[in-house]
Structure 1
Amino acid sequence: MSKHLLALVDVNSFYVSCERAFDPTLEGRPVLVLSNNDGCAVAMSAEAKELGITVGAPWFKLAPNAQRHGLVARSSNYELYGDMSHRFLQVIGEHSHEVEKYSIDEAFAGYGGPLQGAGPWAERIRRDIAERLSLPVGIGVGATKTLAKLANLAAKRVPGMRGVCVWDGLDAEYRDWVMSRLPVQQIWGVGPRSAKKLAAHGVTTAAALRDADAQFVRRLLGVTMMRTVLELRGQPCIQLEEEREFRDSLVFSRSFSTPVSTREIMAQVMASYAQRACTRLNSRSTEAKTLTAWAMTSQFNSAAEDSPSATLSLPAPTNDPVLLTRAAQALLPRMTEGTRYTKAGITLTDLSPRGAQPAFDLFAEPQQDKGIGPLLQQVREKSGTDAIGMGRGGMRTAAEWEMRREMMSPRYTTRWQEMLEVHAR
C-alpha cells in the first residue's frame, strides 16, 4: 500500500565536503573553512571538531599550531559551494517530483511508494549523490517534516543505519526509546527560549512534547509549536513549499580587507557592487525599483562609528547597470571623508519579473540600452566575475579593498581556467 512520506536529504559538513570532493588529500584530515577575509572558522570537519575547534574560532590563533595538528584551512569559496548545491538539488529532482530547497545543504523530497520501498529509494539517492558529486549525505524519511528531521538525526548519529533512516520502518518501541531520550531542544523548530518554557512545565524530551496537550502548547507558545506537536504524532501540518521565483530583496555586500576612507575609492566600490548586483538580477530575470547603498565602520571602532546610507526610488523597475551604478553613487555625499569604513553593500528591493511594467508609462523615464546587463552577465558567466565591468567597476586587477581569500581553492565547476585537470598514465 502506497504511503506519502517526506525525506530530508542533508549533506554532512557541506563546505568541507565540497572541498574534499575535488581534493581527496583532505580526507581524514582536520579541515576548516574560514569566513570573509579569512577571519574565523565557519565550518569544520569531524576531525577538526575533535581538536576542540568551534565555530567562530579566529584563524590567527589557530594558525601557529596548524602544522603541528595537520590542520588545513581553506578560504570560503561560495561560488563553488553554490554550484555544488544546485547540482545536489538536481540529483534529488531526478528521484522525486516534489523537492523543496531548505538551505544550501538541505532539501526535502516527497516519496509516494510503499513503505518497504522507502529505504531502497533513499539509499539510491544517497548513492547517486556520492557517486556523481562525491558528497556524503544523511537521509531521514518520515510521515512529516518534523519526523523526517528527527530521522535524519538518527541516520547521522547511529552507525548501524549507514546514513539512511526510515522512521516508520523502525520498531515502535525503539522509536519511543529514541524520543524519550532526545532533548526537546533538538527537535526542529524548538529554540532555547521555547525549550526553557516547555521545561518549566515538565516537557524536556521529544516524547514529552509529542504527548503534551496540543491546545495547552498552543496557548503557551503559539500555533507553530502546536503544529510541531501534531507532526511528532505523524499528522502533516507543514507542507512542502516551492521556492518563490521572485524574492523580496537582493543584497550584495562584502567586508573590506583594507578599510575604505575616501569617496574616490568608495565610488569604485559602489560601481563594482552595483554591477555585480545587476548580474544577479539578470540571472533571475528580475528588475528592482528601489536601491539602498550603505557602508559601516567596524563594530569595535566606537570612537568613529558611522553607518551612512542612501535610498533611491528609481523611475521604473530596472536591471540596467548604468542606472544602478549611477544610483549607488548617492551614498558618497553622506560619507565622512577620512572615516575608516570596513564594510559596504547594496540592497535592491521592490523586485518584479523583468518586463512586468506596462509597455506604455507616461511617468517612466527612458531606459538605457537593455542589452548591457545581459551582456555583462554572459561575459562573466563565461570568463569570470572580474572579466568585464564599466567605468570604475571595470578593474583589471583586484583592488586593495577587495575581500581577502588567500587560501581559496579553485572554482572547479564554474571557471574554465580553474577546471580540475586529469592526466592519464
Structure 2
Amino acid sequence: MRAMPQIAHVDVNCFYASAERAFDPSLEGKPVVVLSNNDGCAVTRSPEAKALGIPIGEPWFKLAPRAKEWGLVALSSNYELYGDISARVMELLGRYSAWLEVYSIDEAFLGVKGTPEELLALGRTMKTAVRRNVGVPVCVGIAPTKTLAKLANKWAKHNPAFGGVCHWDSVPAADRDGLMGRLSVIEIWGVAARLTKRLNVLGIHSILDLSRADPVMIRDRFSVVMMRTVLELQGTPCIPMEEERVGRDQLIFSRSFATPITTSADMRQVLSVYGQQASARLANHRQQAKVLTAFAGTSHFNPKDTSYPSVCVPLPMPTADPVLLTKAAHALLPLIHDGVRYAKAGIMVTDLRPAGNQAPLAPFENPHEERRVGTLLEDVTRRYGRGSIGLGYAGIKSGLDWTMRRDMLSTRYTTHWDELPLVKAA
C-alpha cells in the first residue's frame, strides 16, 4: 500500500499526576489529585481519583474531609517538575519526526508518513520510548488530519483494545461511524458548550452528524473555522502543522495571592517582582516590548471590595530592561487603595519584537540596557534560583506572604540541586 502523509497526536495521560508518579512509585494505584494555584481546586485527577467521582475543578476544602477515608493524595502544582518533564517528552518525540508542533505542555502533533502497519509500529515505538526514557504514559492517535488525530487519541485512551495507539484508517469504517455517532459534538476539538447548543438547533448532535454536514452551510451559519472542522472530520487537512509555536505577541505574569494585598507598599513589591520576571523572560527569548499593561483585582467572592484598576503604559523604546519595565508597572500604584483586599495582580507586555532589531539613536540609548542588567539578573536567577537576586523592591529573598501557597509541594527532582534524587547501590 502506498505510504501517505499523516498526523500523529501524542498526549500524556493525566500529565501532572503521571509526572509525580514518575519519581514517586508509591503513588501508583492510589487516587491522586494535583491542585491549582494556592492549593485551590483539583486540576488533574488520576484514573483512581476519577473513579471516586471527583470532578475537575472540585475545591480542595470539599475534598479534604474525606481524603483519609478515600486514601486520596493531594499535591500542590509542581510547575518546575512538570515543565522539565514536558521538555524531555518533546525532545524525545522530536527524534521520530522532523516536523514537530508542541501544542501544549502535555501534547504534540508530529508529521509522519508510512503504510498503516508502519504507522502503527511507529506509534507503539513512541509510546514505549516515552514510558521507558521519561517515565510517563502517553497515548497516540494517527490520522489524515489534526482533528481526526485528536479523536483517534481519545479513542486509544478510553478503549483498552487499542493498547494506547490508534491509527484511524486501520479501524473499519463502521466502527469509526459508531464511535462518532456515540460522541456529542462538544467532544470535538474546538467546539464549546455555546456552539454545541447552536449545532443542536440544526439537528447536529453527534460528531457523526457534524461530519456529514454540508461544509458550505456550516460556513454560512457559523464561520470558516467551523467549516474547516467539518472538512477535517471528512478527511481533508485544513489545519496546517506549525513547526514552532513561538510567535506569541504578548507575555503575561499574573498570580492569585495566597494572602490578599491591602497596601500600595506591598503592591509595589508585587509589581517589581513581575517586572523583573518579564525582563528575564524577554531576555531569554531575545525579545523587547513596546507596551506594558499593569492590572489588579479583588476577589469575585468579596462583593464588599470591588476594584479592578489597570493602566497601559507605552514604553519610550522597545526594551527588556528591568528598570524601565518596573517603573512602568509602578504606574498602577496611584490607582491602588489602601485597605482594599486585592486578590490578584499582574503585568502584560505586548508589541513584542526581536531584540536589537532597531538600535536607538544615541540620545535615547538606555544605560541600564547597555550594561545588560536584565541579562545579568537572568543569568544569576538561572544559576542560583528564583529569589536569589532582585532589583529594588523585588530584592527581598524570602518572607513574601502574598506569594503562591503550595503547602503540599512534592520534590522538584530535576530542577533544584538540593532536591536531586539519590540512588544508592545495595
Q: CA distance change for structure 1 residues 396 and 222 in 2, over 3 Å: closer, same or farther? A: closer
Tell me, in whole angstroms, the C-alpha distance in 2 between the residues paired with 1:407 and 1:50.
Answer: 22
Which is worse superposed, 172-181 or 98-107? 172-181
Counterpart residue identity of residue 308, structure 1? P
* Counterpart in the other structure of 1:142: 143
Q: CA distance change for structure 1 residues 312 and 359 in 2, over 3 Å: closer, same or farther? A: closer
* Counterpart in the other structure of 1:380: 381
Q: How does 1:307-326 map to 2 (within 5 A)?
A: 307-326=308-327
* Counterpart in the other structure of 1:170: 171
Counterpart residue identity of residue 122, structure 2? W
* Counterpart in the other structure of 2:260: 259
3-state SS, counterpart of residue 269 of structure 2 = helix
Q: CA distance change for structure 1 residues 327 and 199 in 2, over 3 Å: closer, same or farther? A: closer
* Counterpart in the other structure of 1:353: 354
Does residue 201 of structure 2 align to residue 200 of structure 1?
yes
Q: How does 1:218-367 map to 2 (within 5 A)?
A: 218-360=219-361, 366-367=367-368
Q: Any idea what the Cα deviations from partners look like across 1:85-106, whole Å, max 9, x if unmatched?
A: 2221111111011111222111
* Counterpart in the other structure of 1:132: 133
Deviation at 1:363, TM superposition (A): 5.2
Counterpart residue identity of residue 147, structure 1? L
Contact 2:103 2:245 in 1 (8 A): no
3-state SS, counterpart of residue 173 of structure 1 = helix
* Counterpart in the other structure of 1:53: 54
Q: How does 1:54-203 map to 2 (within 5 A)?
A: 54-203=55-204
Counterpart residue identity of residue 66, structure 1? A
Contact 2:294 2:332 in 1 (8 A): yes
Deviation at 1:11, TM superposition (A): 0.7
Q: Any idea what the Cα deviations from partners look like across 1:203-254, whole Å, max 9, x if unmatched?
A: 2222222222222222222222222222122111111123343421111111
Contact 2:323 2:368 in 1 (8 A): no
Deviation at 1:309, TM superposition (A): 2.1
Deviation at 1:364, TM superposition (A): 5.6
Q: CA distance change for structure 1 residues 311 and 203 in 2, over 3 Å: closer, same or farther? A: closer
Which is worse superposed, 209-218 or 100-109? 209-218
Q: CA distance change for structure 1 residues 360 and 77 in 2, over 3 Å: closer, same or farther? A: same
Contact 2:250 2:349 in 1 (8 A): yes
Tell me, in whole angstroms, the C-alpha distance in 1 between the residues paired with 2:259 and 2:232.
Answer: 50
Tell me, in whole angstroms, the C-alpha distance in 1 between the residues paired with 2:389 and 2:363.
Answer: 34
Which is worse superposed, 365-374 or 315-324? 365-374
Tell me, in whole angstroms, the C-alpha distance in 2 between the residues paired with 1:185 and 1:243.
Answer: 28
Q: Provide the TM-score with structure 1 as the length reference.
A: 0.96
Which is worse superposed, 111-120 or 358-367? 358-367
3-state SS, counterpart of residue 112 of structure 1 = strand
* Counterpart in the other structure of 1:407: 408
Deviation at 1:362, TM superposition (A): 5.6
Q: Any idea what the Cα deviations from partners look like across 1:30-84, whole Å, max 9, x if unmatched?
A: 1111111111111111111111211221112211221121111111111221222
Counterpart residue identity of residue 226, structure 1? M
3-state SS, counterpart of residue 17 of structure 2 = helix
Contact 1:100 1:109 in 2 (8 A): yes
* Counterpart in the other structure of 1:214: 215
Deviation at 1:311, TM superposition (A): 2.1
Tell me, in whole angstroms, the C-alpha distance in 2 between the residues paired with 1:367 and 1:275.
Answer: 13
Deviation at 1:339, TM superposition (A): 1.4
Give 5+ residue unaligned stretches, structure 1: none
Counterpart residue identity of residue 73, structure 2? V
Counterpart residue identity of residue 126, structure 1? K
Tell me, in whole angstroms, the C-alpha distance in 2 between the residues paired with 1:322 and 1:363.
Answer: 15
Contact 2:144 2:235 in 1 (8 A): yes
3-state SS, counterpart of residue 303 of structure 1 = coil
Q: Any idea what the Cα deviations from partners look like across 1:322-345, whole Å, max 9, x if unmatched?
A: 222222222212111221111111
Deviation at 1:142, TM superposition (A): 0.2
Counterpart residue identity of residue 276, structure 2? Q
Tell me, in whole angstroms, the C-alpha distance in 2 between the residues paired with 1:218 and 1:272.
Answer: 46
Deviation at 1:6, TM superposition (A): 0.3
Which is worse superposed, 252-261 or 239-248? 239-248
Q: CA distance change for structure 1 residues 111 and 246 in 2, over 3 Å: closer, same or farther? A: closer
Q: Any idea what the Cα deviations from partners look like across 1:400-425, whole Å, max 9, x if unmatched?
A: 11111111112222211221121211
3-state SS, counterpart of residue 202 of structure 2 = coil
Deviation at 1:3, TM superposition (A): 0.6
Contact 1:100 1:240 in 2 (8 A): yes
Deviation at 1:176, TM superposition (A): 2.5
Q: CA distance change for structure 1 residues 182 and 65 in 2, over 3 Å: closer, same or farther? A: closer
Counterpart residue identity of residue 288, structure 1? A
Contact 2:97 2:111 in 1 (8 A): yes
Deviation at 1:140, TM superposition (A): 0.4
* Counterpart in the other structure of 1:17: 18
Deviation at 1:365, TM superposition (A): 5.3
3-state SS, counterpart of residue 140 of structure 1 = strand
Count of residues in correspondence between the two structures? 425
Q: Taking every aligned residue pair, what percent have the same amino acid on both sides?
A: 50
Contact 1:320 1:369 in 2 (8 A): no
3-state SS, counterpart of residue 177 of structure 1 = helix
3-state SS, counterpart of residue 251 of structure 2 = strand
Which is worse superposed, 7-16 or 182-191? 182-191
Q: Provide the TM-score with structure 2 as the length reference.
A: 0.95
